[in-house]
Chain A
């Protein structure tokens, strides 16, 4: 590790933190932080079907390994935004709730089985589900929400769910951790069955 740069990195992180702290009253000044950002941040967190699928994406990364584990949090938000655009524009997409429930089942099974398909197939699978999740978020956007703050909150929350899954998935390096992660995948797949039953 190059330690020469660490003081600069710490200084940068401190400056970035100060910038964020400075931004908070600015958002409050425009009246958008509390309604927009918090609303957007909370939206994915209060949908259990979204939560389990996002965490499953991160968990699956543990078995897919590099580079997939690090590509997912970069690519997923962009594809999900594409789905969000379709939802915001009101373009019909059939079977959204069913698609979201199936995403939990499939992704949960992938984790449970420790499946490791080629990167292209894994990316296509996750990307397809990202469109359903993005569509649902876009279509459910409250009309009065502040656009920028809401979108930032929503994307950050989704990304943090991925990172939570990735962080939990890192315990799969150890045998007991691997069992725990696969068990979590099984639980997510079961939850997906419940969501599918409710959606049909």
Chain B
């Protein structure tokens, strides 16, 4: 049980994951096809977590996630919805990267699986919460606030990517 709860909270334990969930929630909320884009994210997340369960090796998931976050933040700032297939592909890649970057912090196989399930539910819930809230932001100042948050997240992600590159951590 504690492993499941640990997994539920894991998306909120990593700053890069919080940024990604927030910006993709805003992106999904801005999009007309919110169900399909959020479904793509959750499916990608499930694939990433399943890969962890099958003991996939080290991947550059955090760099991919940050790049996707920067791109999504820029798109939120522009407030120009992407074509549905492109939006689904982007959210699926972000979900996959987030899943791959969420290895369970436990030795037991059963607890590890419970954590992965918890992470899937937790990240999915946070995305759904943010996306649902963002879909109600229809007044001009609310839409503007959404765009400003997207811009700030994109700027943060771009700086982090540059830092990781400068420190030799990118794709390490």
Contacts from A to B (Cβ < 8 Å): 1-2, 5, 8-9, 11-13, 15-16, 19, 22-23, 26-27, 29-30, 32, 36, 70, 73-75, 77-78, 80-82, 84-85, 88-90, 138, 141, 146-149, 151-152, 154-156, 159
Contacts and interface: CB of A to CB of B under 8 A. Distances in A.
A88 B138 contact: no
Interface of B: 9, 12-16, 18-19, 22, 74, 77, 126, 129-130, 132-134, 136-139, 142, 144, 147-148, 151-152, 154-160, 162-166
B18 A88 contact: no
Given A26-B12, A152-B19, 17 more contacts: A2-B138, A2-B139, A12-B137, A16-B130, A19-B126, A26-B14, A32-B15, A75-B151, A77-B152, A78-B74, A81-B155, A84-B162, A85-B158, A147-B159, A148-B19, A151-B159, A152-B15
Contacts, number: 120
B15 A5 contact: no
The prevalent SS among residues of B at the interface is helix
A178 to B, nearest CB: 23
11 contacts: A9-B133, A9-B137, A9-B142, A16-B133, A22-B9, A73-B151, A78-B158, A81-B155, A151-B156, A152-B19, A155-B152
A13 B94 CA distance: 25
A149 B14 CA distance: 10
A152 B22 CA distance: 13
Contact of B163 (A77, A78, A151, A156): A151
Contact of B155 (A22, A29, A80): A80
B163 A88 contact: yes
